Amino acid sequence: MSGPEAAGAKLPTPAWDGEMLVRAEHVKKYFPIRKGILQREVARVHAVDDVSLEVRTGETLGLVGESGCGKSTLARCIARLYDLTSGSITFEGRDISRLSRRQLRPVRRELQMVFQDPYASLNPRKRVGTIISDPLRIHNYGDRTKIKNRVRELLELVGLSPEHVNRYPHEFSGGQRQRIGVARAIALHPKLIIADEPVSALDVSIRAQVINLLDDLQDELALTYVFIAHDLGVVRHISDRIAVMYLGKIVEVSPAEELYKHPVHPYTEALLSAVPLPDPDISAKRERIVLEGDVPSPVAPPPGCRFHPRCRYATEVCRLEEPPLVQHGSGSHLAACHHPLDLPEPSAAPRTAAASP
Amino acid sequence: MAEPLLEVRDLKVSFRTEDGTVKAVDGVSLEVAEGETLGIVGESGSGKSVTMMSVMRLINDPNMRVEGEVFYRGHDLMKLTQEQIRAIRGPGIAMIFQDPMTSLNPVYKIGWQISEQIRAHEKISAKAAHARAVELLRAVGIPHAQERVDDYPHQFSGGMRQRVMIAMAVSCNPDLLIADEPTTALDVTIQAQILELIKKLRDDYGTSVVLITHDMGVVADIADRVAVMYAGRIVEQGSLRSVFYDAEHPYTWGLLGSIARLDRPRPPRLTAIKGTPPSLIHLPQGCAFGPRCPYRFDLCTEVPSLENRLGNGHLDACHLDPERKRDLRETAIHPELAGRGQPELTEESR
């Protein structure tokens, strides 16, 4: 997909089997907190703390967690909108974590973002046509007619009328604006789209429209998604695999259905049980795990397992030792817990007596 | 049924704007019984907040026009003076708002804000009011209430602030608590905490609750009765179970179908409602949902009245034949189950 203009920055690509589109290894992103006249660094927000993760070509990876868990920061690290504190991001077999802005340009064609707030992410002073064609112009897509045709094509693709090119963002509803954001993101035929809470600001009936749109586009354009949301229902609907984050760490990664049926990490279990179900009978019957307290501050995360202060299974070891992310059950189900919850296969995971719910 | 605690009769609220008159609420009638929890569901702009804000007489806009009657324990709230309505806010009806950051004053300590409210309604010393504030904070589950009472709002997290709002709302033991999207700005685990808290207070003090939300899941968790609003009108109203299991209005079907649900197998596609909500300045002729409704027919050019069509107390505003609706309902909500005969029951989700 790299055009001739990208040739200058292109490095020899090492052996890349095409299966792993993105590989994040030991990614850390700390934000300094500065104080005083000298702006000395007094503390650090551990937004993303040693996260390793893979995104396979063609899949949708869901990233869930509560606000402040670092999911957006991780996504922005992958898109290189932030510089990493340490660790590496490999995109299509190539390490992009130390590239300069100029070197990143060809990568940006392949890797686009859709943002949460369709009111803030579109320039109110630009016409829709300009908003969508900006990336095309920046990346020398072609002459004016070619760009114009592509914009019309894109508008149709996302379900807007091509006549809308000359309108301004304020003339559109929230759902339509999000469609414009999607059109802009897919303009350059990217491989990966990172969608950061793309439907959270939308009403329920509109939300379903946009989710269906993203679904269709994935099939038509062979896209890979990293989909961030705090709505677990939405994430389960759209994702093939899901990673659960808590306080800067990934605590569980699993194929979507398996995560919902057999969560291994107590935090995942609590998170799932907290989702209100739109069915009065099921809602009344089920057992709810209400977590005590709030998420601790990422400035000074608790030692050991970061979830232990709120965990109902926590024991001494959880306070002292940080659990590694290890395999449970099927090969692709990973979790970081000293007291993993029951899995269907009895011999699948090492268990402690305290862990049986 | 005994005399309802709150009765709204044909409430109409409109705003004059440069572009025309916005009919925010267009003839809403509802009742809240003692000890009952009413859930009002709807999307943004459906008029659910404006309805309850008008009941509390909280909107002071010179361009606003309110018609209709609101009875609270026999008083028509619309006819009271400012002073009289102020006496009802607090001990009578209290309200919690969506955004706990903007509804607390950032320059006053939490404790001061709570005791101010108590002292406005009761003859009580500052010291005693302060002690009550500590007690209330403890009741809503704020740890170290004794010390936190002297903190400022910014020192509290979102969930904690919402707890403070609830503490303020219940400080005068209201008969009716109106909660306007109390958990929308919060994470699910915190949402669960707040909903549990509201349920506990309701059960302990027998408070009636009106919960405004766009989340069908929240309603299913807490409400006894549900009213669904669309474009300023109630389109469906009934008991919790009847609205969820025997919904009569295509808009409610659409709402239920468009949720990505955890308690059912994943459908290949969500049943989205086509189009967007209508402009409240130029409402469509007839049924406001008509232009988006897949089952629209001739009669829909007339505004359907909200009535009890089945004789079971369930109200809906849809011209469709009840027999026909029974056939359509399941397919409309879960098209993926259609044609599979017996819909299979879902695995219990945890």
The pLDDT profile of chain B, 350 residues, written as one tens digit per residue, is 568 999 999 999 999 999 899 999 999 999 999 999 999 999 888 999 999 999 999 988 899 999 999 999 988 999 999 999 999 998 899 999 887 778 889 999 999 999 998 998 889 999 999 999 999 998 888 888 898 999 999 888 888 888 899 999 988 889 999 999 988 878 888 888 889 989 998 999 899 999 999 999 999 999 999 999 999 999 999 999 999 999 999 999 999 988 888 888 888 888 888 888 888 998 998 999 999 999 999 999 999 999 998 888 899 999 999 888 988 888 888 877 655 443 343 433 33
Whole-number Å distance between alpha carbons of A269 and A282: 17
Q: Which pairing describes strands B75-76 and B93-96: parallel, antiparallel, or unpaired? A: unpaired
Q: What is the pLDDT of residues B12-28, one digit of tens each?
A: 999 999 989 999 999 99
Q: Return the structure tokens found at B127.
A: 């010291």
* Type and span of the H or E element at B315: strand B315-316
Q: Which of B227, B167, B199, B188 is nearest to B47 (CA)?
A: B227
User: Which residues lie across from A49 on neighbouring strands?
Assistant: A28
Cβ within 8 Å, pair B276-A175: yes
What's the pLDDT score for residue B2?
A: 66
Higher-pLDDT residue of B157 and A223 is A223
- Least confident span in A20-29, A336-345, B277-286: A336-345
* Contact with chain A for residue B47, Cβ under 8 A: no
Checking if the pLDDT of A12 tops 50, the result is no
Test the A interface: residue of B270, B279, B336 with most A CBs within 10 Å: B270
What's the pLDDT score for residue A114?
A: 93
Cα distance from B215 to chain A (closest Cα, Å)?
8
Whole-number Å distance between alpha carbons of A311 and A269: 11
- The gap from C-alpha B12 to its chain's centroid, in whole angstroms, comes to 17
User: Residues A318-330: what's their mean pLDDT?
Assistant: 89
Q: What is the pLDDT of residues A248-302, one digit of tens each?
A: 999 999 999 999 999 999 999 999 999 999 999 998 888 888 888 778 888 999 9
* Contact with chain A for residue B101, Cβ under 8 A: no
Q: Using H for helix, E for strand and C for coil, what is the string for A249-281?
A: EEEEEEEHHHHHHCCCCHHHHHHHHHCCCCCHH
pLDDT band at A131 (very low <50, low <70, confident <90, very high): very high
- In order of A98, A121, A158, A177, A202, the CA distances from A117 in angstroms are 29, 6, 17, 9, 9
Q: Which pairing describes strands A334-335 and B233-239: parallel, antiparallel, or unpaired? A: unpaired
Quote the ipTM score.
0.82
Beta strands in chain A, from DSSP E residues, in sequence order: 20-35, 40-56, 60-64, 86-91, 94-95, 111-114, 192-196, 224-228, 241-246, 249-255, 326-327, 334-335
Beta strands in A92-176, from DSSP E residues, in sequence order: 94-95, 111-114
Q: What is the pLDDT of residues A26-85, one digit of tens each?
A: 999 999 999 888 888 889 999 999 999 999 999 999 999 988 899 999 999 999 999 999
Cβ within 8 Å, pair B240-A291: no
What's the pLDDT score for residue B338?
A: 59
Whole-number Å distance between alpha carbons of B68 and B57: 13
What's the pLDDT score for residue A346?
A: 43
End-to-end CA distance of chain B: 37
What's the pLDDT score for residue A1?
A: 42
Percent of chain A predicted with pLDDT > 90: 67
Test the A interface: residue of B162, B183, B269, B350 with most A CBs within 10 Å: B350
User: Residues A91-100: what's their mean pLDDT?
Assistant: 92
What's the pLDDT score for residue A4?
A: 43
Q: Which of B149, B99, B107 is nearest to B129 (CA)?
A: B149
- A-chain CB neighbours of B189 within 8 Å are 66, 270-271, 274, 290-291
User: Residue A204 is nearest to which of B191, B221, B259, comparing CB atoms?
Assistant: B259
